Amino acid sequence: MTTVEINDIRGNLLNSVVIPDDTPKKQKVKVALEKLVYLNINLEGAILRKANLYEANLEKANLKRVNLLGANLERANLKGADLRGANLEKANLYRANLDETSLDETNLQGANLEGATIKRDTYLLKDGYFTVTNIGSESGTLEIFNTEVGLYFRRKYFFGNEEEFRAEITDKHGNSNYAKAYLHLIVVAKLRFNLN
């Protein structure tokens, strides 16, 4: 058996996992993480730079403030994972499952999100994600997704397409300045994604 160690930013040991000796070198971190996620172990703050997590099952994992700089998460299952404050700069998330994933304050600069799923059968287009912070009555984060079927918006407990988002704005904010700001952000999103 081989031991894989997962450290935090200060080099402190977060967890160690025993995996079979015959695990291919490229898959050791993936196998270790999947085991920790299966055991519901908190991975907050782990350093996983450039980790090969191709097709990893990290569903509902606590990955808050994890450093995944340049990691390969192609086709990874991150459904319901908590990635708030994580560093995914230059990570490959091609065709990853991001359904119900918390991405508030996540660094996605230079990340490949093409084909990532944000809800069943709804896929992101290349460069199809951005956030606006300090918005609304609670100064929260609005996530905006450009998909093959149009824009989608996520704000706290709301997730829906443009039509549903407009209805939510009207229902919650009426004709207030908050409503006007949200409606302007729809226009900004269309400009950002070059939609007419």
The residues spanned by each domain of the chain are 1-112, 127-196
User: 165 and 187 in contact (C-beta within 8 Å)?
Assistant: no
Token look-up 């302007």 returns: 184
pLDDT string in tens for the chain (196-residue length): 889 988 887 888 888 889 999 999 889 999 999 999 999 998 999 999 999 999 999 999 999 999 999 999 999 999 999 999 999 999 999 999 999 898 888 899 889 999 999 888 788 888 888 889 888 888 888 989 999 999 999 887 788 999 999 999 999 999 999 999 999 999 999 999 998 7
Q: What is the pLDDT of residue 145?
A: 92
Q: What is the pLDDT of residue 62?
A: 94
Q: What is the pLDDT of residue 92?
A: 96
Q: What is the pLDDT of residue 186?
A: 96
C-alpha 148/C-alpha 9 separation (Å) is 37
User: 30 and 23 in contact (C-beta within 8 Å)?
Assistant: no
Model confidence pTM above 0.85: no
Q: What is the pLDDT of residue 158?
A: 87
Tokens of 5: 């160690």
The burial class, CB within 10 Å (0-12 / 13-18 / 19+), for 89 is middle
Architecture of the domain defined by 1-112: 3 Solenoid (2.160)
Q: What is the pLDDT of residue 180?
A: 95
Q: What is the pLDDT of residue 127?
A: 83
